[in-house]
Structure 1
Amino acid sequence: MNDITEMLIDSTNRIMKDICTKELVNESEKGRWAADLWDMLAGSGMITVAIPEVRGGNGGEYTDALSILRLAGKYSAPIPLAETYVANWLLNQLGADISEEPLTIALPSRNELFSFKENKDGWIISGKASSVPWARFAKQVLVIGKTESEHALALIKPEYGEIAFRQNLAGEARDTITFESVFMENCEVIPIDLDWVMKQLRYSLAVTRIVLMAGALERVLELTGKYSSERNQFGRPIHRFQAIQQQLALLAGEYVAAGVASDYAVDAFQKGQLSKEIIMAKIRINEAAGNAATLSHQIHGAIGFTYEHILHQNTRRLWSWRDEFGTETEWGMELAEQIMEKGQTGIWSFLTDK
């Protein structure tokens, strides 16, 4: 870790600790936009990390941005930081303008592409997307569609469409947005290679969920260790009991495994490897999320489920994020397909890179 990364992590940690409180997260689940948190991160140059300065960004590497995102996961930050990072990274690769405003992404299947029809003064856009993260708060939504001759993407202001408010288990906005023959003047529709863009988005968004979960798992371990050392039963802290020590050891093991998986995925992403490294990391950290949530709630007992306690803010996000952008089953099937393509003689090199 270099000095710049350490500085970014330290600054972000202080911002999150000061602003991203339990009360802020609870209020966000009731529909409040965390404007102060976003503005502070934007003012500190945290929104356009990993974008070259010549392109309007703040420089740095993907590893720097993902380190910031891991802290966002630790503190359950209720903002579309992950989606804004991924959208900006893609726009930068395509040579388009980036933004410091909140962005989100409508990731479609191939039969759910938007329709772009050119008009002499602009474009007429139609389409519907569900489970769009933070659509109600985003300034622009990145949508993928098809013109009469090619595939393309565009940034659309959500207010041009109809937004049906939805939430995931964690209370985070996962809205449905519909555009019915919306005319947009001066809209930049960018031609794309659909396969390349879909792969970039799918793997990039999977990496964001990996690091978010790694951060949440860190917080879960901290909260559980603290609670077990303070909660007394039969005249001594409960972490002195062998059964609790066993559960704490298992929880710590899941945290370490998740951390290794996260580091593995981040390193691969930094090198541009959108393949098995990210797949295996998502599978492993998904499993860690489920196991760690169970263990932490067992140790906390009933209090961990109460609204007044903070633990549920992290565990509900672990349960939600593990299902986003690839479950264990979905990624496992893709990994199996890649292995089968190698044949018997290629399995060893596939697993060991040798």
Structure 2
Amino acid sequence: MALPTANPGFRLGCQESPAMGLRSAPRLALRRPGAVSGHRSRTGRGKFPVASTSLDDYLPMRSTEVKNRTLTGDITSLRLITAVKTPYLPDGRFDLEAYDSLINMQIEGGSEGVIVGGTTGEGHLMSWDEHIMLIGHTVNCFGTRIKVIGNTGSNSTREAVHATEQGFAVGMHAALHINPYYGKVSTEGLISHFEAVLPMGPTIIYNVPSRSGQDIPPQVIETLSGYPNMAGVKECVGHERVKCYTDKGITVWSGNDDECHDSRWKYGATGVISVASNLVPGLMRSLMYEGENALLNEKLLPLTKWLFCLPNPIALNTALAQLGVARPVFRLPYVPLPLEKRIEFVRIVEAIGRGNFVGQQEARVLDDDDFVLISSFL
């Protein structure tokens, strides 16, 4: 049965949320890999705009201090990265206690990295203040035990640059960058967008045309692969695209849980950036580390397909609530899965084995009125 948007069984919260603006400074021209220092070369896309700014007056947002930065190779070696969920309190604020518990479960289950504030973590529903705070909190609490990859991408290059500067300033190990969504751009525009953020630190580029509305073609990735900070690609297009990159020595992670086993063992992917590992990190680690395992992959397929029966993270949010790992609180426009799908999840848990899932409580079917839907929040 479908859940109507205005189902009276769901409780609505209503608190106001302040808007946040972003500023950017003029940027120095970026050099392509191999360019000679001090040489102002003009590319087909033109230079980054600095002509109107006197160099004597220009104050770059760059520190000359040596940074304790992660090497790109420390990111390219990761096989299991969890796109982690952000849990909420009933008033819509972050539930940091539940979040910390979930991160600990990922570490104990063998995940080597987390994407903070990605699609699964609902970064698109956060203010930038919330976003950077959560990245900094994750680094502060877990940065010595797991790699923290902050989603600081945006459809605005200015916002992507500003957020990435802030993310690395609070200590994230790498950045995740999607291509500019909705406002589709040219191939040259895609390259320029990523060139603006790559100098700041290790970067994973995220290609998910079903969400962004535009594919990142191999030409773009191959052009950017010469940058030392280019860690690799989270690729959601499929096996053939994965093979296209691995044949060229470009690191690629599968962005599809239901395809990640074959992408890893048959097409050369380094690993997976996973939604399912929020729930079964130990099994996903086995899938990425212990060689081809068709039986385990088949056992997990009902779960991975269920997780994407509606757009992510609707199913994951529902699942973690039914496992007692997160409160049943949704920031709108997300609402829980319908009842029949909630029942189906409990059956999947029983089939795979409750001991393989995160949390200690038994999986249970929640009623409609157990969920809280938040339309505005602090």
Q: TM bucket by the smaller chain?
A: under 0.3
Higher relative CO (CA 8 A, sep ≥ 6), structure 1 or 2? 2
**Normalising by structure 1, what TM-score?**
0.25
Whichever structure has more helix as a proportion of its residues is 1
**Normalising by structure 2, what TM-score?**
0.24
